[in-house]
Structure formats: C-alpha cells, structure tokens
A = this chain, B = another copy of it.
Amino acid sequence: MSPALWDGLHRVSTATLTSELLRAGLRNTFLTGVKPLKPDQRLVGYAFTLRYIPSREDLDFQVDYDNTRDPQRLAVEAMGERQVLVIDARGELAAASFGHILATRIQQRGAAGLVTDGALRDASRMNTLTLPVYCAGVHGTTSSVRHRAVDANVPIGCAGVAIFPGDVIVGDEDGVVAIPSALAEDIAQKAIEREQLETYILGRVESGESIVGVYPPDERTIMDYRASLDPDGHG
C-alpha cells in the first residue's frame, strides 16, 4: 500500500470503511462490542493473529510462562512494525486475555496496536501506553484461569469477524474494522474519496439544506461537489 493510502487510512472513519466493504459485498467486517480504551486513538496495521482455547488445569495455571515455548510469548517476541496483535479470546470476559507488561513489550517492538474480543487487566497502566488498545471488557484475573494460547498467525474469529494474518486492521472511536488484504488498497482509495464527498454533503446539511437531493447526492449535487473540488473550473 502506498504511503499516501496508508496515511489516508489514519483519517477515514471505520464507518466509511465498513460502508465501502459493504459495497464490495462484505457485510461482516466490524468487530461488534470491541471498544477503544482511549476514545481519541487511531489504529492502522496488519493483523498478527493469536488463538486461545479454554485452559485446562494439567496444562495451564502455571505461575510462570515458558517464554521458549508458550505461543503467546513467542508471538510477543515475533511481532514487527505495523503489526496489530489480534487475539481470539472467544469473547470470554471472566478473565483477562493480555497484560500491560506484554503490551509494553509489543509497543517497544513497534507494534501498531492490540485488539482482543476478551478482557484486559491493568487498564490504568494500559492507558499510559501510546499503543492503541481495543478490548471487549476489563477483568483483574490473569489469562491462564480461562485461556491457553495454542497458535499464532492462523485464521481466527474475533468478535464475530473472520481475521486472516495480514488483513488491514483499522480502528477509531467507534471500534475496529478488518479489511481483507486483497481488497485493502481499493477499499482505502474509495473510502478516502467517499469521505471527501460526505464532508461536502455534511457542510450543506449543516448550512440548513434538506437531505432531499443532497444525501444521497443526486447528479446536481455530485456536479456541485466536483466543482467545489476544482473551484476555478480548470479540472
């Protein structure tokens, strides 16, 4: 993706991206119930997935994790720049699915964000990070009571949405959308253009016009919009 598109993705809303994905035939791309820890954060990156299953006492509940074998720990030390850790925590909200020391580590490694359909702990410390963090809840209990990491970079479900490694993950105040990598450039381009048009429409509605003919725009409004982009008519 070109730097311009990548930059543009930081400015378009997840609402606009979701609408462009719908125009492309994809209805189920927004993660229901996953919210930003800090409302004004923006997230753009490539999905690095991590899959959890329920824990079992003979395998988990260890006090200390084995950093040379535990898939969660291996994932943390494998993440690179522009990658977003996306965790399939099965929507489990009765224990955390990640903690702030690991979040600090992936931030240090250049990660672009953290997304889970489970809970997080240490919310107050998480809030001191610059890393954009999205979760479905907060819980003080450590992950091993409910979760065992089993593999990374496989296709997962997260908050009801299919996530493949490499999908483009975008987050804003509403939440998180996953764009299939093959569609990402096209969707980004269209969303950036669409948002320009909607800003123009919003301006007219804010000035007191009816939505009739304006939203959705009829041909006349589209023409006016184009003229507004090129006020001198040199287009």
- The answer to whether A180 and B124 touch across the interface, beta carbons within 8 angstroms, is no
Instruction: List chain B residues, Cβ under 8 A from A55.
Output: 28, 162
A73's closest neighbor in chain B, by CB?
A: B211
Say if the beta carbon of A53 comes within 8 Å of chain B.
Answer: yes
Give the size range of A's interface with the partner.
35 or more
Would you call A160 and B18 a contact (CB within 8 A)? no
Check if A33 is an interface residue, CB within 8 A of chain B.
yes
**Within 8 Å CB of A99, what residues of B?**
15
* Inter-chain contact A123/B64, CB cutoff 8 Å: no
A39, A104, A140, A208: most-surrounded residue (chain B CB, <10 A): A140
> Are A174 and B90 interface neighbours, CB within 8 A?
no
State whether A26 and B58 are in contact (beta carbons under 8 Å apart), knowing that A64-B216, A211-B105 are contacts in the complex. yes
Cα A64 to Cα B219 with chains together (Å):
13
Min CB distance A130 to B, Å, is 12
Q: Which residues of B contact A183 (CB under 8 A)?
A: 58
Could you say which residues of chain B place their CB within 8 Å of the CB of A140? 13-15, 17-18, 30, 174-175, 177
The distance in angstroms between the C-alpha atoms of A32 and B54, with both chains bound, is: 13
Residues in chain B near residue A14, CB distance under 8 A = 140
CB <8 Å contact, B154 and A151: yes
Interface, chain A (partner B; CB < 8 A) = 13-15, 17-19, 22-30, 32-33, 35, 39-40, 52-59, 61, 63-65, 67-68, 73, 76-77, 90, 93-94, 96, 99-102, 104-105, 108, 121-125, 137-142, 144-145, 148, 150-151, 154-157, 160-163, 172-175, 177, 180, 182-183, 198, 201-202, 205-206, 208, 210-213, 215-216
Given contacts A18-B140, A123-B174, 8 further A-B contacts (CB under 8 A): A18-B121, A30-B139, A58-B183, A67-B216, A68-B212, A101-B202, A138-B173, A150-B155
